[in-house]
Amino acid sequence: MQHKTWLELNSANLRSNIQMLGSLLSSGVVFCAVVKANAYGHDLETMARILVLEGINTFAVDSVDEAMKLRAHHPNITIFILGFTVPERFKDVIKGGFIQTVTELETIHKLAQAALDLQTKAKINLKVETGTQRQGINSEKIRDFAFEIEKMKDDIEFVGLSSHFANSEDVRNPDFCLTQNQIFFNTAKELDIYKVQQPHFYHISCSASAISQPTTQFNMVRIGLALYGLWSSEELRRQNLSTSRHIDLKPVLSWKTRIAQTKDVRAGATVGYGRAFLADRPLRIAVLPVGYYDGYRRLAMNKGYVLVNGQKCRILGKICMNMMMIDVSQVPQAKTGSVVTLLGRDGMNEIKAEDLASWFETINYEAVTGISSHLPRIIT
């Protein structure tokens, strides 16, 4: 079945990334695949299916809804919910066997009550603040939380202790990352002193720190962006190349569309809304059936390009809701139905997620997660 705009998911590249990233983990360290935000725009269910086949059985998502999608197809995997869940959904969390991240005693009490109602246990992951100032309890409060959780041991299973790095991708200035790691280590060590429930998993490390700071691994690492073949920073990529244990991440996602129409435009004509592009010479242009509704940002106007028959074709004028125009004057083969690459490789040229991010004035994370979920994803 042909589509007018679609994404291609390279399963071989995903498998390669899994193997390379797995090789960085110390013996016994759990590989937790982060598939939140629709697997960073790649498609949660498709990515999870391949990951499970490759032996990954621990996952992290943002919401109970994402967790339920995973559980529907994979009854035996371990699933962490990293984000906030409203109390009305706590019974869904418990029934699904999900591990809910918590940062307040009130939340733990409500989970315990829901578990009591269901005559089972709720699983929790306690998040500790180490310097990012996002989710997390102050590390000084670990004693209070530990003993309160112990009181609820009939209803609460203490599964994980976690934190989150603020700038682990900044390999030129690793001090803050290492300070956060030390705070987390000290918190875990303090918890171990108390005769209370101890968590099964300790995790603070992410893609960037797994690559650049092996001492941060504890017994579980959350791998997200790198899984999909993307780098957290250019500095991290360069540092990786200079090490003996360097890895070659391969992008999983390509984004393609087709030419919907070609036409000749005279010199002096303007293109698109707001007449934002003025043709200074006769041009042959193509209309593409993709726009900002699909996730291709208006910020790329008059500066981004696409690939047609392996050649760079600049974007002309403003990106529309469902369409955009490009210059195909130098591509005589271009015609209605011709494949156009928005992200990925065509011949000798490649458009990277970092290129989109530059044109969109954002980061590669946002560029790929912003691609609309309504577009079909095809495994190659």
Cβ atoms < 10 Å from Cβ of 247: 18
Length of the chain: 380
Encoding tokens for residue 248? 């070659």
Pick the closest to residue 123 from 79, 158, 163 (CA basis). Answer: 158
Q: What is the DSSP string of 324-367?
A: EEEE-TT-TT--TT-EEEEEEEETTEEE-HHHHHHHHTS-HHHH
- Give the active site residues: 36, 273
Encoding tokens for residue 154? 């009939």
Sign of the C-alpha dihedral, residues 15, 18, 21, 23?
negative
Residue with tokens 């209803």: 155
CB within 8 Å of 36: residues ≥ 6 apart = 60, 61, 62, 63, 66, 82, 83, 224
Q: Are strands 99-102 and 122-129 parallel, antiparallel or unpaired?
A: parallel
222 marked among binding-site residues: no
How far is the C-alpha of 62 from the C-alpha of 83, rounded, in Å?
A: 5
321 marked among binding-site residues: yes
Binding-site residues from annotation for substrate: 134, 321
Binding-site residues from annotation: 134, 321
